[in-house]
Amino acid sequence: MLIRRMTSTVPSLPLPPLQGYLFAMLMCILAWLMSLATNIWVGPPLPALPFVMATVLSAGAGGMNPGLLATVVGVVVAFFGINHRIGEGAILAQRGIVTLLFYAVVGVMISALCDQLHRYRREALRQARFCDEAHDAIFAWSLEGPVLYWNRGADELYGFDRAAAAAEQITHPLLGVENRAMFEDIKSALLLTGQWSGELTHRRSDGRDVRVESRMRLIHEGTGRTIVEADRDVTERMHTLDALREADRRKDEFLATLAHEIRNPLAPIRHELEIMRVARGNPDVVERARAVMERQLAHLVHLVDDLMDVSRITRGKLELRRERISLADALQAALEASRPLIEAAHHELIVNMPPAPIYVLGDMTRLAQIFSNLLNNAARYTPPGGQITLSTSAANAQAVIEVRDTGVGIAAEALPNVFEMFAQANRARGLSPGLGIGLALVNALTEMHGGTVTAQSEGVGAGSTFTVRLPALPVSEVESAHATRPSAAPPASVRRRVLVADDNLDAAESLATLLTMMGHEVRAAHDGAQAVEQAEKFRPDLILMDVGMPKVDGLQATTQIRSKDWGSDPVIVALTGWGQEADRKRSKEAGCDVHLVKPLDFDRLSVLLTELEAATVRG
């Protein structure tokens, strides 16, 4: 049978050197007294025999040196005894000498043997201590029943204390009832091959399951069969792997959905282009096609913007432009963006606004994005003819915005994950018109504003309610800092010289054509070197500079233009697909006045052209 707690139940041997020598001397004194007694009652040469016992005890307790000490003392005492009886006869003297030599040899052999046993014992104790202090759970159990050994790692992993294991109050397997069939297979493998390894679910003392990586080996001990088992807790690793698998599954679903979402608007755009080709200038058909393409393009732009926002938030690159704003303005902007989708599904929209204004410190664009995403989500997941309610109130220095719908609802098991990236609570029911990033954006943007967002639903078919809470500003503070916003600039009425620089020929020519139709004089360039050359000859008032161009990129071209004598005159707009703060900083350092993200917002372009009448725009 294997030891249960060798390191704690066996005394420490051999004794320290001083104690070993003292113990040997004590044994020698006792042996001498016994030899005196045997000398009187039995006669020579038996008086030497008690020193054999002294040698065994001294070597057993103290090792080789105390054993040799006891042997030497025994030889000396025996020698004097033999010398004292030399005159009693030659035969007795010879027998005494033989006994003396035999005792000396036996004493040395006993001392050496005990010393070797002590070495083996110390090594066994050292290994047992390593086993006992191992982080992994190591224990042994009889194939027929009880646990025989239980280390500290098993205590910590399974929650059973050492006393319970040592008293054999628990038995293996530590498997739930549902895994007993698996355990029978393990026993069969052990009997067949002598070992087994794999993953198991063990049951702790508190009833909790732990996932372990287990290795077992069968040891035959006479007629008994013992299993030595080493278990490593992999519960956290398995949870991590499960999370990675789930993330990978969501990623695959996201990519498939993304392809679907991109194809959806591309199909009508392609159809309308073909219609325009066949219509041959029919104004009604062209106008209808233009409207369809404009809507689908807006959908694509919104899709790309959401993806870019997700990327910026994930990498911590999204910055808010905070200002004191009226919550009603942000909600109105969100309603304007979401109303077409709501009306297309014939939903009833109910808006409940408080009589007193509510102000918050936030980014107008991002707040409108939060509320618009929630409204769009309600519109998509509510059957046609449903009801959507937008309510706003103030409570406990917080602005509370609630979006309630009568839609498909959210299953209870999906609620905890509804704000996770790429989560699709209704995918199993075939209701997944989005990418699964809208609510994740809502949650992230709300937290960036110092607020919270929660989701509630009574279950499938019972509708859902999303509640956003944001820190509200005191009305007095807002009124003291309130400033009237400037009105929008009127359309440009002055003919301007505009240089369009873009290596995408279609993009450059189409933008140049549009600006020409707006009454401006336009030139086009298709790389950075050509842009510098055209600017030298044309001396434009405005340069729309694509950043990523061959030969010389847009920022290098801007730097070269600014180095000219006339280079400070034109307004240079960086036009690019990169819109992070680091990108804006680089374009500003290169000399660009404005940084715009593709696709170009023509309202913003009209404002720029109008502002050129008054002064050069900087920043």
Q: How many angstroms separate the CA atoms of 25 and 28, rounded? A: 5
Q: What is the CATH number of the domain that holds 309?
A: 1.10.287.130
Do 333 and 468 share a domain, yes or no? yes
Look at 140-144, 188-192, 524-528 and tell me which has the smallest mean pLDDT.
140-144
Using the predicted structure, report yes or no on whether residue 351 has a pLDDT greater than 70.
yes
Look at residue 1 and tell me if it is in a domain: no
Q: Report residue 134 CA to chain centroid gap.
A: 27
Q: Are residues 139 and 198 in the same domain?
A: yes
Q: Lowest-pLDDT range, 45-54, 172-181, 251-260, 310-319?
A: 172-181
Rounded Cα distance between 369 and 438, Å, is: 9
Q: Mean of the per-residue pLDDT values for the chain? A: 79
Please write the tens of the pLDDT for every residue from 402-448: 999 999 888 888 888 888 766 665 544 444 455 567 788 888 889 98
What does R_g of the chain's alpha carbons equal in angstroms?
A: 45
Altogether, the residues listed in the chain come to a count of 619
Burial class, 223, CB count within 10 angstroms (exposed 0-12 / middle 13-18 / buried 19+): exposed
Q: How far is CA 35 from CA 27, 29, 83, in A?
A: 12, 10, 15
* CATH code for the domain of 381: 3.30.565.10
Residue 573 host element (H or E): strand 571-576
The domain tally of the chain equals 5
Query: Considering only CA atoms, which of 547, 465, 543, 533 is closest in space to residue 504?
Result: 547
What pLDDT, on a 0 to 100 scale, did the predictor assign at position 9?
Answer: 45
Same domain, 435 and 553: no
pLDDT digits (tens, 9 = 90+) for 141-180: 777 767 778 888 888 888 876 666 655 455 555 555 556 6
**Is 189 found in the same domain as 57?**
no
On whether both 444 and 514 belong to a single domain, the answer is no
Residue 582 burial (CB count, 10 A): 9
User: Domain check: are 327 and 307 in the same one?
Assistant: no
Of 171, 205, 233, the residue at which a domain comes to its end is 233
Burial (CB count within 10 angstroms: exposed 0-12, middle 13-18, buried 19+), residue 297:
middle
Domain check: are 191 and 111 in the same one?
Answer: no
The domain boundary, picked from 112, 132, 152, lies at 132
pLDDT at 550 over 90: no
| CB-based contact 489:610 (threshold 8 Å) | yes
Distance of CA 202 to the CA centre of its chain: 25
Say if residues 197 and 218 touch (Cβ distance below 8 Å).
no
Q: Which residues contact 379 (CB under 8 A, 6 or more apart)?
A: 338, 341, 342, 345, 347, 388, 405
pLDDT in tens, 89-119: 444 456 667 777 877 888 888 888 888 888 8
Range of the domain at 141: 134-233
Let me know if residue 486 belongs to a domain.
no
Q: Are residues 97 and 177 in the same domain?
A: no
Q: What's the one-letter identity of residue 586?
A: R
Q: What is the pTM of this model?
A: 0.47
Q: Element (H or E) spanning 575, and its range? A: strand 571-576
How far from 80 is each of 44, 100, 228, 503, CA to CA, in Å?
Answer: 12, 11, 57, 116
State whether 110 and 176 are in the same domain: no
Separation between Cα atoms, residue 136 and residue 552, nearest integer Å? 62
CA dist 72 and 63 (Å) reads 15
Tell me the longest C-alpha to C-alpha distance in the chain. 151
Structure confidence at residue 484 as a pLDDT band (50, 70, 90): very low
DSSP string for 306-363: HHHHHHHHHTT------EEEEHHHHHHHHHHHHHHHHHHTT-EEEEE--SS--EEEE-
pLDDT band at residue 468, thresholds of 50, 70 and 90?
Answer: very high
Secondary structure (DSSP) of 385-419: T-EEEEEEEEETTEEEEEEEE-SS---GGGGGGTT
Q: Which helix (H) or strand (E) holds 7?
A: helix 6-9
